């Protein structure tokens, strides 16, 4: 019989969102007459902008003509998309199209990047707590985490607590981490990082030779001019950071699937014999071996984000969700709840009222208000006593959810 990867047996319960889905389905089956409003997983609800749809239609027509038909595309993505990204998203930041790798999702890339790093505990990994569970679970699978304690904390990981007291910007540790995951705007807390704070991380990475894995999937939601959109706004970040970006939330691509990762030329890691190896070379090799690229149609849709109409329409989409975030934030504050985030990020993070645990509040909201959110404890031990509401829904549902919460609490 084939041997399985034993590390999978160290994973805690199910992945958070399927677990929530299971509970919601059970409630719905028992209460078929109830209409449930979902502000749990950050999944978009609004239709694809017209500029994107038009570009995708045109791409389909190209594929329907022998002269313009295309088969396999370049594994790292078509130049037209990589060039548009470099010119718009990294203007003035010295990121070249060659350093951009198109993929089918940031979640996938955040997990897949471990393929190019030594596994089985060879790297010490630091994550925030609370944290997007993918960073932790993929490290458990790679054998970097070891067993978990009764709070669900893995003994092999360094946890950086993000709390209201430190403005959800965890203290930079004394201990050396070889790899540090940073996510700003933050999922789940909705916090942002200042330039000074990111500069401290870059200095830390340089001091210790660490690699920063910077997840900027929500960067389009930043409204304040002084909040950095990219880690490469920080001097020296090109020598120590990989950045992940996504079209999922700003362009409505959660189902369409398109994202990209920046691996700067000159960013290196160390082989077991001490040789310095360019990470871009490994990532390129990884992608061209295991991935055949994102479809031409989808990449044409993603490139349309950067057209004049696409910029305007995706900007409106972002504004729409951010208005939802404002309504949630202000609606809950009016109920005297402690709320955070929701200003430069589409997530509102709140303290559970009445001393409820995160899952108790989840159940209370589900059964009494028929509203689904995400229990903070599902993002880590330091998320206990917190709860996340996502701004991704229709205006009507957000308003109805707030009314229901008000009536139920
Ligand atoms: C979330 O709700 O945290 C996100 O939707 C998860 C994801 O983007 O994978």
The DSSP-derived string for 227-260 is S-SSGGGSTTGGGTEEEEEESTTTTT-TTT--EE
Q: What is the number of alpha carbons within 13 Å of residue 401 lying toward its C-beta? A: 27
Cα–Cα distance measured from residue 39 to residue 4, given in angstroms and rounded to the nearest whole number = 36
- Atom of ligand 1 at shortest range from CA of 17: 2
CB 214 within 8 A of CB 225: no
- C-alpha of residue 21 to centroid of ligand 1, in Å: 13
Cα–Cα distance measured from residue 39 to residue 258, given in angstroms and rounded to the nearest whole number = 23
- 340 phi and psi angles, rounded to 5 deg: -135, 165
Q: Which of 15, 19, 38, 41 to mutate to test the pocket of ligand 1 (most atoms within 8 A of CB)?
A: 41
Partners of 390 in the β-ladder: 347
- Strand 125-129 and strand 157-161: the pairing is parallel
Cα–Cα distance measured from residue 339 to residue 386, given in angstroms and rounded to the nearest whole number = 10
| Residue 187 Cβ contacting ligand 1 at under 6 Å | yes
| Residue 41 Cβ contacting ligand 1 at under 6 Å | yes
Q: How confident is the model at residue 191, as a pLDDT?
A: 98
| Residue 42 Cβ contacting ligand 1 at under 6 Å | yes
- Atom of ligand 1 at shortest range from CA of 43: 5
- Atom of ligand 1 at shortest range from CA of 187: 3
Q: How confident is the model at residue 14, as a pLDDT?
A: 67
Alpha helices in 64-194 (DSSP H): 79-89, 106-112, 133-141
Partners of 261 in the β-ladder: 101, 244
| Residue 130 Cβ contacting ligand 1 at under 6 Å | no
Q: Which of 15, 16, 17 to mutate to test the pocket of ligand 1 (most atoms within 8 A of CB)?
A: 17
- Atom of ligand 1 at shortest range from CA of 374: 2
Tokens representing 405?
């919460």
CA 160 vs CA 34, 178, 193: distances in Å: 40, 14, 14
Q: How confident is the model at residue 62, as a pLDDT?
A: 98
- C-alpha of residue 187 to centroid of ligand 1, in Å: 8
- C-alpha of residue 42 to centroid of ligand 1, in Å: 5
Cα–Cα distance measured from residue 41 to residue 221, given in angstroms and rounded to the nearest whole number = 17
Angle between helices 308-334 and 50-63 (to 10 degrees): 140
Nearest residue to 45 via CA among 302, 295, 397, 345: 397
SS3 per-residue string spanning 204-215: HHHHHCCEEEEE
- C-alpha of residue 266 to centroid of ligand 1, in Å: 31
Give the other-Cβ count within 10 Å of 19's Cβ: 14
- C-alpha of residue 316 to centroid of ligand 1, in Å: 21
Say whether domain 53-307 belongs to CATH 3.40.640.10: yes
| Residue 105 Cβ contacting ligand 1 at under 6 Å | no
Cα–Cα distance measured from residue 387 to residue 374, given in angstroms and rounded to the nearest whole number = 6
Say whether domain 6-47+309-408 belongs to CATH 3.40.710.10: no
> Do the domains 6-47+309-408 and 53-307 sit in the same CATH topology, yes or no?
no
Q: How confident is the model at residue 5, as a pLDDT?
A: 97
Q: How confident is the model at residue 151, as a pLDDT?
A: 85
Cα–Cα distance measured from residue 172 to residue 407, given in angstroms and rounded to the nearest whole number = 42
Burial level of 126, CB count in 10 A (0-12/13-18/19+)? buried
Asked if residue 135 has a cis previous peptide bond (ω within 30° of 0), the answer is no
Q: Return per-residue pLDDT of the chain as tens, 409 residues.
A: 999 999 999 998 666 888 899 999 999 999 999 999 999 999 999 999 999 999 999 999 999 999 999 999 999 999 999 999 999 999 999 999 999 999 999 999 999 999 999 999 999 999 999 999 999 999 999 999 999 998 889 999 999 999 999 999 999 999 999 999 999 999 999 999 999 999 999 999 999 999 999 999 999 999 999 999 999 999 999 999 999 999 999 999 999 999 999 999 999 999 999 999 999 999 999 999 999 999 999 999 999 999 999 999 999 999 999 999 999 999 999 999 999 999 999 999 999 999 999 999 999 999 999 999 999 999 999 999 999 999 999 999 999 999 999 999 8
- C-alpha of residue 100 to centroid of ligand 1, in Å: 22
Cα–Cα distance measured from residue 175 to residue 91, given in angstroms and rounded to the nearest whole number = 35
- C-alpha of residue 17 to centroid of ligand 1, in Å: 8
Q: Which of 42, 215, 247 to mutate to test the pocket of ligand 1 (most atoms within 8 A of CB)?
A: 42
- Taking CA atoms only, the protein residue closest to ligand 1 atom 4 is 42
Name, in order, each residue with C-beta under 8 angstroms of 62's C-beta and a sequence gap of 6 or more.
68, 69, 70, 296
Cα–Cα distance measured from residue 378 to residue 50, given in angstroms and rounded to the nearest whole number = 36
| Residue 245 Cβ contacting ligand 1 at under 6 Å | no
- Taking CA atoms only, the protein residue closest to ligand 1 atom 9 is 107
- Atom of ligand 1 at shortest range from CA of 246: 8
| Residue 190 Cβ contacting ligand 1 at under 6 Å | no
CB 321 within 8 A of CB 346: yes
- Taking CA atoms only, the protein residue closest to ligand 1 atom 5 is 42
Residue found by looking up tokens 């206990």 in the block: 384
pTM of the model: 0.97
Residue spans of the domains in the chain: they are 6-47+309-408, 53-307
Name, in order, each residue with C-beta under 8 angstroms of 229's C-beta and a sequence gap of 6 or more.
89, 216, 219, 222
- C-alpha of residue 392 to centroid of ligand 1, in Å: 11
């Amino acid at each position: 019989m084939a041997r399985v990867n034993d590390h999978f047996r160290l994973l805690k319960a199910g992945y958070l969102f399927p677990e929530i889905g299971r509970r919601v389905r059970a409630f719905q089956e028992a209460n078929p007459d109830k209409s449930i409003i979902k502000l749990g997983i950050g999944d978009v609800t609004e239709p694809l902008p017209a500029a994107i749809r038009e570009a995708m239609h045109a791409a389909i027509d190209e594929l329907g003509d022998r002269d313009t038909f295309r088969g396999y595309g370049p594994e790292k993505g078509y130049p037209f998309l990589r060039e548009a990204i470099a010119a718009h998203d990294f203007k003035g930041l010295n990121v070249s199209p060659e350093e951009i790798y198109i993929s089918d999702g940031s979640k996938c890339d955040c997990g897949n990047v471990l393929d190019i790093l030594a596994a089985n505990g060879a790297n010490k990994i630091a994550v925030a707590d609370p944290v997007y569970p993918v960073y932790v679970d993929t490290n458990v699978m790679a054998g970097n985490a070891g067993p978990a304690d009764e709070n669900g904390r893995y003994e092999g990981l360094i946890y950086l607590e993000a709390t209201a007291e430190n403005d959800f910007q965890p203290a930079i540790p004394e201990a050396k981490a070889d790899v540090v995951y940073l996510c700003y705007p933050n999922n789940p807390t909705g916090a942002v990082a200042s330039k000074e704070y990111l500069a401290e991380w870059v200095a830390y990475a340089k001091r210790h030779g660490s690699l920063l894995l910077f997840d900027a999937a929500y960067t389009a939601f930043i409204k304040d001019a002084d909040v950095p959109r990219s880690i490469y706004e920080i001097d020296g970040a090109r020598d120590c950071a990989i950045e992940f970006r996504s079209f999922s939330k700003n362009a409505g691509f959660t189902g369409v699937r398109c994202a990209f990762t920046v691996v700067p030329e000159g960013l290196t890691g160390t082989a077991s014999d001490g040789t310095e190896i360019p990470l871009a070379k490994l990532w390129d090799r990884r992608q061209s071996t295991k991935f055949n690229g994102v479809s031409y149609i989808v990449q044409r849709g993603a490139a349309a984000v950067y057209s004049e109409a696409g910029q305007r329409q995706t900007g409106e989409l972002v504004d729409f969700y951010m208005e939802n975030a404002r309504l949630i934030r202000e609606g809950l504050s009016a109920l005297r709840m402690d709320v955070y985030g929701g200003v430069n990020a589409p997530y509102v993070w709140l303290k559970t009222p009445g001393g409820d645990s995160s899952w108790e509040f989840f159940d209370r909201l589900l059964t009494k208000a028929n509203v689904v959110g995400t229990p903070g404890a599902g993002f880590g031990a330091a998320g206990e006593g917190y709860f996340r509401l996502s701004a991704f829904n229709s205006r009507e549902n957000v308003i109805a959810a707030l009314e229901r919460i008000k009536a139920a609490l």
